Structure 1
Amino acid sequence: MAHPTSADAGHSRTWVPGWPCAVGQVLRPQRRGAGDPTQKHLDDGRVWRAMRTPLGPASLCIEGRPSSGEVLGRAWGPGAEWALDRLPGLLGADDDPTGFEAHHPQVAEGLKRHPHWRIGGTGLVMESLVPSILEQKVTGKQAFGSFRELVRRHGEPAPGPVAALRLMLQPTPEVIAAIPSWEWLRLGVQPAQSRTMVTACRLASSLERVGQVSGEEADRRLRTVRGIGVWTSAEVRQRALGDADAVSFGDYHLANWVGWALVGHDITDDEMAELLEPYRPQRGRAAMLAIAGGQSRPRRGPRMSIPTHLPTH
């Protein structure tokens, strides 16, 4: 596959973060599976993202240069300048771990292993909300597949020299809101999810403004939408706002992962909340560092089956 090169014209920016910035690691949570058409991680370390900014579509190529400590960003499309202005925040410049104190040895170990880990925020609420709704109460494999097909069938090519990458933009909220019920079934999306999706997309303008408020207020506003609960709100705040306190309560795995990391056995959401409370307002950071520094949960227990919505005959 031919990859775009620096010879392709576009806007550019060089940024020097105040810490060793692992571009791929920071951006990995923004990718929805290895086949995500909106974000590509290349073997040479570059990351390509397609996004709908307030100024229009943009493609962004991010390249870390560890030898110099620089990060090079190149962007194309009407939203190129916005994307480059947002580059530091996307890579965690707005995340302040100052004052974080490890209350468990496992969290301390995670911090030791990842001393420069940062939580980035895209500043784009709908970009995170659409795939998060698709991930409600289904397997990751199914959700990633539904998102991939949604983008391929209803999105559009990203701007710039990205044809070889097949980089795609998410569909606009207007397009998503107009998708008929039978098409949602074809995409493997449950009726409850599609209803939530359509409702959210009809409120897209007001929901995008959630990115301008604090984590607690953002949580309150997101959860006023029918079908958006604690889990979905946290998933959006983590990615769009870079909210270090957001914890995905209600996740199928998270409480048990944290439980095994900190106390050596499965725990409930309530027990996880109690363990993480001393870390407020950085509970999300603590949970991830605990998992990184503690023991892993044994691979056992039930797995969620993939439901079928389309008739077999």
Structure 2
Amino acid sequence: MLRTGRHDPTTRLARGELWKASRTPDGPGTVHLSYRQPAVTATGYGPGAGWLLERADALAGLRDDPAGFLPLARQHPVVAVLADGMPGLRLARTERVFDELVRVVLAQKVTTIEATRSYAALVRRFGEPAPGPVPLLLPPAAETIAAAPYWMFHPLGIEQRRADTLRRLAAVADRLECTVHEPPDQARRLLMTRPGVGPWTAAEVAAVAYGDPDAVSVGDYHVPHQVAYALAGEQRGTDQRMLELLAPFGGHRARVIRLVVHAGVQEPRRAPRAALRSFARF
């Protein structure tokens, strides 16, 4: 959830460690998390190092509170098995709302491969070298995105609808960052007042930027089928059916979805994969 594809220029993830470059209110920075049982060690680089280190425990998921989830999980045989099999699963919180919005908006109405390719191309086009010993790039600055004309996005495989959404959100990025101080449900509602941000986009952002344990991505192409297949053995699912199955886990619905996704539960495929497109060629 903290990396946009295997070739994300802003993030490096390996066994037991994470490198992540970010733009913070104090300036650019890179944080390195290293896990050696029983401790997580955080190291920061650049002007934003202090800001990142103050929130390193949240990035590692250590502010996530799963209290109350296990009694709910025990009520469902599949969820109980998943929870027992992944007892260390925690929900990260980045507190970088615009960065997550960029990632999620690029995933609207396209395949995952298309979205990750466009994100990597966008970072390489508008990003800058991040501080620290690892060669990473910073996410694009909001002011850079807001000022860029559409024709600069088109060669990156981003059509005008998503490009315009990004530019509108970039123009109010400072106000969007303030939503991290709101309760997650209120923050989601505030995000959805912006054109181009619907329930799916708001939930995807909330799950990572706010570490929201109850965010449900209504409108997702795969998740309703995965949840229906995992929890009820049904090969296809709808948003309504997904919400019905998740209702007993209120307050922890995102946690159940994360368990299902991390376990690799996948509904049987009924059609060929969607064809990959390249808006850059249009």
Alignment TM-score, normalising by the size of structure 2? 0.94
Deviation track 1:110-164 (CA, whole Å, cap 9, x = no partner) reads: 10101121101011111111111001110111111111011111110001222xx
Q: Which residue of 1 aligns with 2:259?
A: 289
Q: Which residue of 2 aligns with 1:173?
A: 142
- Paired amino acid for 2:175: S
Q: Please report how far the alpha carbon of residue 301 of structure 1 lies from its aligned counterpart in structure 2 after TM superposition.
A: 2.2
1:122 aligned to which of 68, 91, 94: 94
Q: Which residue of 2 aligns with 1:215?
A: 184
Q: How does 1:132-147 map to 2 (within 5 A)?
A: 132-147=104-119
- Paired amino acid for 2:118: S
1:124, 1:130 → 2: CA distance?
10
Q: CA 1:295–1:45 in 2, change beyond 3 Å: closer, same or farther? A: closer
1:171, 1:274 → 2: CA distance?
39
Q: Which residue of 2 aligns with 1:198?
A: 167
Q: Please report how far the alpha carbon of residue 305 of structure 1 lies from its aligned counterpart in structure 2 after TM superposition.
A: 2.3
Stretches of structure 1 that go unaligned for 5 or more consecutive residues are 1-28
Q: Which residue of 1 aligns with 2:241?
A: 271
CA contact under 8 A between 2:106 and 2:115: conserved in structure 1? yes
SS where residue 275 of structure 2 aligns?
coil
SS where residue 109 of structure 2 aligns?
coil
Q: Which residue of 2 aligns with 1:51?
A: 22
Q: CA 1:131–1:268 in 2, change beyond 3 Å: closer, same or farther? A: same
1:305, 1:191 → 2: CA distance?
20
2:34 aligned to which of 48, 56, 63: 63
- Paired amino acid for 2:187: A
* Residue 157 in structure 1 maps to residue 126 in structure 2: no
Q: CA 1:142–1:294 in 2, change beyond 3 Å: closer, same or farther? A: closer
2:171, 2:253 → 1: CA distance?
32
SS where residue 237 of structure 1 aligns?
helix
SS where residue 60 of structure 1 aligns?
strand
Q: Which residue of 1 aligns with 2:3?
A: 31
Q: Which residue of 1 aligns with 2:218?
A: 249
Aligned positions, number: 278
CA contact under 8 A between 1:109 and 1:293: conserved in structure 2? no
- Paired amino acid for 2:129: P
- Paired amino acid for 1:112: D
Q: Please report how far the alpha carbon of residue 289 of structure 1 lies from its aligned counterpart in structure 2 after TM superposition.
A: 2.6
Q: Which residue of 2 aligns with 1:234?
A: 203
- Paired amino acid for 1:200: L
- Paired amino acid for 1:289: L
CA contact under 8 A between 2:156 and 2:280: conserved in structure 1? no
CA contact under 8 A between 1:106 and 1:261: conserved in structure 2? yes
Q: Which residue of 1 aligns with 2:67?
A: 98
Q: Please report how far the alpha carbon of residue 183 of structure 1 lies from its aligned counterpart in structure 2 after TM superposition.
A: 1.5
- Paired amino acid for 1:191: Q
Q: CA 1:49–1:295 in 2, change beyond 3 Å: closer, same or farther? A: closer
2:170, 2:266 → 1: CA distance?
38
Q: CA 1:56–1:257 in 2, change beyond 3 Å: closer, same or farther? A: same
CA contact under 8 A between 1:234 and 1:246: conserved in structure 2? yes
Stretches of structure 2 that go unaligned for 5 or more consecutive residues are none
4+ residue segments displaced more than 3 Å: 290-296
Deviation track 1:154-199 (CA, whole Å, cap 9, x = no partner) reads: 110001222xxx3000110000112211121111012111111011
- Paired amino acid for 1:286: V
Q: Please report how far the alpha carbon of residue 310 of structure 1 lies from its aligned counterpart in structure 2 after TM superposition.
A: 3.6
SS where residue 121 of structure 1 aligns?
coil
- Paired amino acid for 1:58: G
2:120, 2:63 → 1: CA distance?
30
Q: How does 1:11-26 map to 2 (within 5 A)?
A: none
SS where residue 30 of structure 1 aligns?
coil
RMSD: 1.6
2:157 aligned to which of 181, 188, 191: 188
Alignment TM-score, normalising by the size of structure 1? 0.85
Deviation track 1:82-116 (CA, whole Å, cap 9, x = no partner) reads: 11110111111221111111232111111010112
2:279, 2:90 → 1: CA distance?
39
